[in-house]
Every structure is written in structure tokens, then in C-alpha cells.
Amino acid sequence: DQQVKQNSPSLSVQEGRISILNCDYTNSMFDYFLWYKKYPAEGPTFLISISSIKDKNEDGRFTVFLNKSAKHLSLHIVPSQPGDSAVYFCAARRNAGNMLTFGGGTRLMVKP
Amino acid sequence: NAGVMQNPRHLVRRRGQEARLRCSPMKGHSHVYWYRQLPEEGLKFMVYLQKENIIDESGMPKERFSAEFPKEGPSILRIQQVVRGDSAAYFCASSPRTDRRELFFGEGSRLTVL
């Protein structure tokens, strides 16, 4: 029962171009969404989040878009840099709980 | 550095042995979460604890796994009679309160069962 899905296991992008990572969810009780970045042999680090009452949140090179009707969110990174190469996890929180449900991750490779 | 501290970083056990993983949350954080990441998979929620209380253990296997967060000391995830399928990275996260949405993760403990 995968309530949060990241259908692309990997993505390769040229340095300077835009990276778009996608995430779909099924549970309409989710009210808060987060993106985490993970390097090998390290723990996930929080990147950016969005509340379900918004459709866009921007922080520097990172922007998260939320389409509630489609139960879809995306993370845009522009311009992409080689240091952005990592695994990106989408996560969602229910309004009646505190734990996060994670997607399977997308491995982003930014080529110089 | 007041980050989430996990130890050991790497643990090797033979089938049937016990594994104990420890987690010290960030200073001022009283909520601890354990997640497991199997190879090539995402993070799966296991258990959510506050000091001396298990709040949600819906992701914990019914047998062999237990967790605690005592009044004093770190949170401990205990796996008894380990099997090869327990080999995974176990991540601990903490938060200061329930209305703080993002969790802060440690670097993980990698368990290998021979």
C-alpha cells in the first residue's frame, strides 16, 4: 500500500538546466508535504516543504508545486548543480498524526 | 554539534543474535521516530516515541522488534534473533514538538546480518 509514490527511480540532467522531480500521493488526509535530500551513507536532510493550503513554495533554487486535485507535487531545481546529485525523497504528513510517509526516492544525477 | 546522534554506525550480527541501535535526539527534542530503509527502497516508518511512551508503533514488525525511549538516556531499537532480512539502514529522527512538521534525521545505523 504505497501512499506516496515517486515513479521515476532516476533522473539525469545537465548542469545549469532545470531538474523536475515528481511525486504522487493517494491519501487525501495528507496536509503537509516535504522533500528530503540524501547523500550515500548519510541521513536525509530536510530541503523544502509545502502546506496543503498553498500551491507553491520557493526557497532559492528550489521550488515545490502542489496540485491537490491531481494529488501531485513536484520539486524544481534551477539551475541544477553537480552538488545536487543525490537521492530525493518526497514525504507526506497526515493531519492526524506526526509521522511522515516517504516515497521510494528518485536518484538525481547532474552532469557537469 | 547538537544533531541527532546514532550509534553504532555499522553493526554486523550473525543470524540469531541480538542487535541494539541507539539514538540520542537533538537537544531539546522529546519526540523520536525510527525508520528503516531496505536496499533500493524508501524509508519505512517503524515507531514514534516520546519520553517513556510509545505513541505509534504501527510500522513495527509484530515479533522480535521493540523500542524504548527512557526518561534518561537514548532511545533504543532492539532486534532479537536477527535474520538476514533485517539487514538494512535504520534511521532515527527527532522533533521538538508535534506541530513541528519536519523531522531531523541522524546518519543512520547500518545493520548487516551474516
CA–chain centroid gap for A68, Å, is 15
Residue that the C-alpha cell 517503524 belongs to: B46
pLDDT tens by residue, A3-40? 999 999 999 999 999 999 999 999 998 999 999 999 98
pLDDT of the residue at B96: 82
Render pLDDT for B96-106 as a digit per residue (tens, 0 to 9).
876 667 889 99
Closest residue by Cα to residue A2 from A106, A102, A70: A102
Exposed e or buried b per residue across B54-63, where buried means at least 16 C-beta atoms within 10 angstroms of its C-beta: ebebebbeee
Q: Shortest CA distance to B43 belongs to which of A84, A89, A7?
A: A89
Dihedral (CA of B82, B58, A24, B101) sign? negative
Chain-chain contact of A98 with B95 (C-beta, under 8 angstroms): yes
CA distance B93 to B88: 16
Tell me what percent of the residues of chain B surpass a pLDDT of 70: 96
CB contact under 8 A, A43 and B31: no
Give the DSSP letter string of A21-64: EEEEE--TTEEEEEEEEE-TTS--EEEEEEETT-SEEEETTEEE
**Backbone torsions φ then ψ of B86, nearest 5 degrees:** -80, -10
Q: Which amino acid is at A6?
A: Q
pLDDT at B41: 83
- Summarised one tens digit per residue, pLDDT across range B75-97 is 999 999 999 999 999 999 998 87
A 51-80 residues with CB < 8 A to B = none
Interface contact B42-A99, CB threshold 8 A: no
DSSP secondary structure code for residue B64 in this structure: S
The answer to whether A99 faces chain B, any CB pair under 8 Å, is: yes
Q: What is the pLDDT of residue A41?
A: 86
Amino acid at the residue A36: Y
Choose between B54 and B39: higher pLDDT. B54
User: Over 90: is that where the pLDDT of B37 sits?
Assistant: yes
Has residue A1 got a pLDDT over 70? no
CA distance A14 to A102: 27
Using an 8 Å Cβ cutoff, are A7 and A24 in contact? yes
A25 at B interface, C-beta within 8 A: no
Residue of B101, B106, B108 lying closest to A93 (CB–CB) = B101
Evaluate if residue B1 carries a pLDDT over 80: no
What the block records as the C-alpha cell of B89 is 539502514
DSSP state of B72: S
> pLDDT tens-digit profile of A51-106?
999 999 999 999 999 999 999 999 999 999 999 999 999 999 986 666 889 999 99
Instruction: Check: CB of residue A92 under 8 Å from CB of residue A3.
Output: yes
